[in-house]
A and B are shown apart, each in its own frame.
Chain A
Amino acid sequence: MTQAIAASVEPVPGGIRFNKPTMLGVGTMVWLGSELMFFSGLFAAYYSIRANATGPWPLGGIKLDVIQSGIFTVILVLSSFSMQKAVFDLEHGRRKSARLWIGITMVMGFAFLGNQLYEWTHVAFSPSTNAFGSLFFLMTGLHGLHVFLGLVAMAFLLIRIAGRSRDPGLLPVMQSISYYWHFVDIVWIALYATLFLVH
């Protein structure tokens, strides 16, 4: 009965009862470990270059819009909460509400990406300007790609939720995408602090 209960998305009286984390969930956490090392390599490169740079940092007197990016950082953090709300809804069999909250999460994710594109086209430097420029575009770009892939995954998730009601694989997929989304969110908080605040 273990996994069968955890995997059911039918309404359960008194709420759903879990017996253990799903294998997909544990696998996702292991994979996120490799993602963590991937991003930490970028952070290490950034701080190594910064430590070896002479003169003020960011190089060349680059100014970034801390407030605007801060607002969209808050939006991305809020999207983590809406995603978790969707997970809890699906765990309790509230499929309609889950779809709504995934939709809200996607809107916030796209808003964040939109701001990212706006920033990319409006900053006064390019990847070839200096080392800070290269790192700024590399780090925000790779993070933006992760956000985009998360949104693609959510789009497929919406298709899947619209499908048959007894889909034993649905809830683990939903949970795993939420782990990924929280991870991408936390990485952005560190990126925002690194690129925009710590000068």
Chain B
Amino acid sequence: MGSYFDQILFIALPYVSLFTFFLMTIYRYRAESFSYSSLSSQFLENKQHFWTVVPFHYGILAVTLGHVIAFCIPRTILVWNSHPLRLYILEISALSCGLLTLIGLVGIVWRRLTYPKVRGITSPTDWIIYVMLVLQVLSGVGIALFHPWGSSWFASNMTPYLWSVFTLDPNIGYVAAMPWLVKFHIILAFLTVGFFPFTRLVHILVIPNPYLWRKNQVVRWNRNPK
């Protein structure tokens, strides 16, 4: 029975999620190009905005980039980790970025909850994706703390699993015996990918994506707010 659920969650779910992702992002872009935005709320509240949004974004970018690098060049990660000191440096850096993301994200949700104007423009979809992201980042930090050293075992176990999914020959042997927290993190990641096209996260796909290197931009009213 366990292996049946593993097959549903680690073979069926990834393909359903990826299919939904590609189909619906293209569809949404064709049907509603102008909805490809995260709808800035900077002009509604600006005190907490910087201390939540900026840490979250740079944190999640660094962490995601780490996952992508381990996915693309696992051998290099393992060679880097072949000295304990280097392994510790990589893990502490990753945990620092994970905590930065978590603190920023909790701040974002707190800001949305406590400022009526910002809460007013927060849609049900936004709340769902915030809950998913909080759980995802929380489980990621939990994995880093309770099941170290993830940078090494991701390269040896998760990378082959993910490649097996992308090469249409899924091998769940790599994930079947992982602790429940790791499984939860993987499942939620695929659910997030599937839910992605329906959320504000689509702003990630706006190309060219200038968010990271453009000059500071202040979003404000062109009249005096009442």
* B partners with A: no
Question: Which residues of B are at the interface with A, using a C-beta cutoff of 8 A?
Answer: none
Question: Which residues of A are at the interface with B, using a C-beta cutoff of 8 A?
Answer: none
